[in-house]
Amino acid sequence: MSHPKSKLGLRLIQIPLGVLSLWAILYAPIALLWHVPLASILFVLLALLLNPFNINRRRSWVIRSTALSIIIVLLLLFPYKVLESTEDRMRFLSDKLVTEGISGFGLGDKIAIYGAHVFMGVGGLITGYPEVAIETLSMMIPGAGYRSWSSDFAMESPRIRKPLKLMVAQLQQLPMKTNEYSLKKKRIAWTRYDSDERVGWALNPVRLEAVANSIEGRWRINCTATVGMRYPSRGWLLLFSHAGRDIHFEEGLLWVLQEIGWIFPYQGSWEWNVYSDDYHLLS
């Protein structure tokens, strides 16, 4: 006789496994649309590995172990094949955009690019870039051309802190009865991210605004970082480098989706407040 707690625990395991397995099943055909059959095979194997059903049965674990073994072997034999094939296809589509324009893209091409857009958004959540994920996935939602969120994640960046520190120094020079002071709008851009990837990926480039208000002897600084979520018609974005290999994404392909109304550009703002004696601004 099974206990209710054990059934609940099993359900808690099955739900995330089911979501991930469904994701893998959906991306198997999308990988074929990208002309990357190895990725399609890996997604099918991943779906078998993450299958949420029959977890307690021995046969199920034999199938999972076999799928995992094949995945490991394929990745060891072809460590860069998926990335290289994807980038080759991307360059082909980029050339097509130049020679044929948007009309040269068939339904399969558009679905493949849309799948890549979703993949990058979900990937941001998994790899520790939640703000990038929010901004990217929000482009799938039609509606208002302006959206805002509350988060002080931008304070992690020295590029964001620098003008705010200068503002704090200016606040100390103001007459005693001053109740409000505004920072002149600053445009901030990154040419390289180094250890500033989380903020740089989400905000590059950004327009920073700040207004300080005197409250009970302290300055509270209300900050707004505004970023335009719109893809350019051309532009190769460096995603990452590994073992001397640079992996890029052509943003012009996402521009195609933008132009045909499959994704929706907007102005996004991150808002937060910080006090002038906060350790971020004093260190």
For 76-96, how does the pLDDT look when each residue is reduced to its tens digit (9 = 90+)? Answer: 999 889 988 998 999 999 999
- So what's the pLDDT on residue 161? 95
pTM tops 0.75? yes
Which pLDDT score, from 0 to 100, does residue 133 have? 95
List C-alpha distances in Å: 72 to 65, 77, 161: 11, 9, 44
**Which stretches of the chain score pLDDT less than 50?**
1
- DSSP annotation of 145: S
Q: Give me the pLDDT at residue 144, please.
A: 77
| pLDDT value of residue 1 | 46
Name, in order, each residue with C-beta under 8 angstroms of 4's C-beta and a sequence gap of 6 or more: none
Helix (H) or strand (E) holding 73: helix 58-77
Q: How far apart are CA 177 and CA 226, in angstroms?
A: 30
Q: Where are the domains of the chain?
A: 4-77, 84-283
- Closest-CA residue to 53 (of 27, 28, 22): 22
Residue with tokens 């964001």: 160
The set of residues, in sequence order, having a beta carbon less than 8 Å from that of 175 and lying 6+ positions away, is none
Residues 91 and 196: their CA atoms lie apart, in Å, by: 28
- pLDDT tens digits for 165-181? 999 999 989 888 889 99
| Burial class for 81, CB neighbours closer than 10 Å (0-12, 13-18, 19+) | middle
Q: What angle do CA 202, 126, 116 make, to 5 degrees?
A: 70
Q: 263: Cβ–Cβ under 8 A, 6 or more apart, which residues?
A: 114, 117, 139, 140, 254, 257
CB under 8 Å to 95, separation ≥6 — which residues?
none
Task: Encode 29-68: b = buried (16+ Cβ within 10 Å), e = exposed.
Answer: bbbbbbebeebbbbbbbbbbbbbbeeeeeeeeeeebeebe
pLDDT at 28 (0 to 100): 97
